[in-house]
Amino acid sequence: MTFLPSSLRRPSALPGFGLALGFTLAALGVIVLVPLAALVLRAASIGPADFLAIARDPRTLAALRLSFGAALIAALINTVFGLLVAWVLVRYRFPGRRFIDAAVDLPFALPTAVAGISMAAIYAPNGPIGSIAQNFGLKIAYTPLGIVLALVFIGLPFVVRTVQPVLEEVESDIEEASALLGASRLRTVFQVVLPHVYPALLTGFALAFARGVGEYGSVIFIAGNIPLVSEIAPLLIVIKLEEFDYGGATVIATLMLAISFAMLFLINAIQGWSRTEYGNV
């Protein structure tokens, strides 16, 4: 109860604030904050010249470019198809709809390593889809294209589950009004309904993107992991650690974290903005 001075806390009749907050802060500190501080301290102890030398290494730059590039493309694909899936699930009634609705969360529940080996088997040159693609001269597994596919799998539910509840709350009045005023259906959808969904869509995009940047398990099996070509940043961290190059691993991790936190900040800014613009999203 004496954890915070009363000026920092609104008085309450409920007990246990100090105990709950103390326990939460202790767990948060030991599990999350102290280990992260170890990373930051390590990065700070490297020195700007060495830090830049590792950061500017072609292999580091190629890995970061691939992780962020593949995550960006996958998130864009998920933005389009995630919106379509959410639209179909919310607006239409068809057999199997509830089953599909439940299945969208599969990437949340399926371990990434399982998804990884399974997608590698499908898209490998001797796999069911990989062999068809091979006939058209297209190689999917062991190329950046395979990485994008794995990240599409991982990111899909983020977009669908962010957009779906917002789409459910769009009132039909505005569509009727738009139609009565003579707008075509296409125009009503794109200029009246979807603008309500854009903030949520942007949030879903950012979440899928952030997740894709850091993804490891589902990617490494399908990527082929060729340095400078299909080697993602998290894998380069693992390789540096296996070589006992803690400094190299720390620099790459710090760069990734800096960009991830910028993303988190952006997500919060978007949510704050969309709340003032469209009410609770």
* 93 backbone dihedrals φ, ψ, rounded to 5°: -115, 120
- For another protein, the closer of residues 38 and 228 by Cβ is 38
253 belongs to the binding site for another protein (CB under 8 A): yes
Sole residue written with tokens 């993107």: 209
Nearest to 249 by CA among 261, 264, 238, 262: 238
Supply the minimum distance, in Å, between the C-beta of residue 195 and another protein: 17
172 belongs to the binding site for another protein (CB under 8 A): yes
| Binder of another protein out of 44, 132, 229, 238 (CB under 8 A) | 238
Name residues contacting another protein, limited to 45-74 (CB under 8 A).
none
Whether the Cβ atoms of residue 218 and residue 209 lie closer than 8 Å to each other: no
Calculate Rg over the CA atoms of the chain.
23
# chain residues binding another protein, by CB under 8 A? 108
Counting Cα atoms < 13 Å in the Cβ hemisphere of 13 gives 0
What is the DSSP code string of 55-121? HT-HHHHHHHHHHHHHHHHHHHHHHHHHHHHHHHHHH---TTHHHHHHHTTHHHHS-HHHHHHHHHH
112 belongs to the binding site for another protein (CB under 8 A): yes
| Binder of another protein out of 73, 210, 223, 270 (CB under 8 A) | 210
Binding span for another protein by CB under 8 A among 53-61, 136-144, 150-158, 223-231:
150-158
| Binder of another protein out of 125, 264, 273, 277 (CB under 8 A) | 264
In three-state secondary structure terms, 38 is: helix
42 belongs to the binding site for another protein (CB under 8 A): yes
44 belongs to the binding site for another protein (CB under 8 A): no
Supply the minimum distance, in Å, between the C-beta of residue 18 and another protein: 9
146 belongs to the binding site for another protein (CB under 8 A): no
130 belongs to the binding site for another protein (CB under 8 A): no
229 belongs to the binding site for another protein (CB under 8 A): no
Whether the Cβ atoms of residue 206 and residue 270 lie closer than 8 Å to each other: yes
| Binder of another protein out of 54, 141, 223, 256 (CB under 8 A) | 256
2 belongs to the binding site for another protein (CB under 8 A): no
Query: How is residue 81 written in tokens?
Result: 């198809």
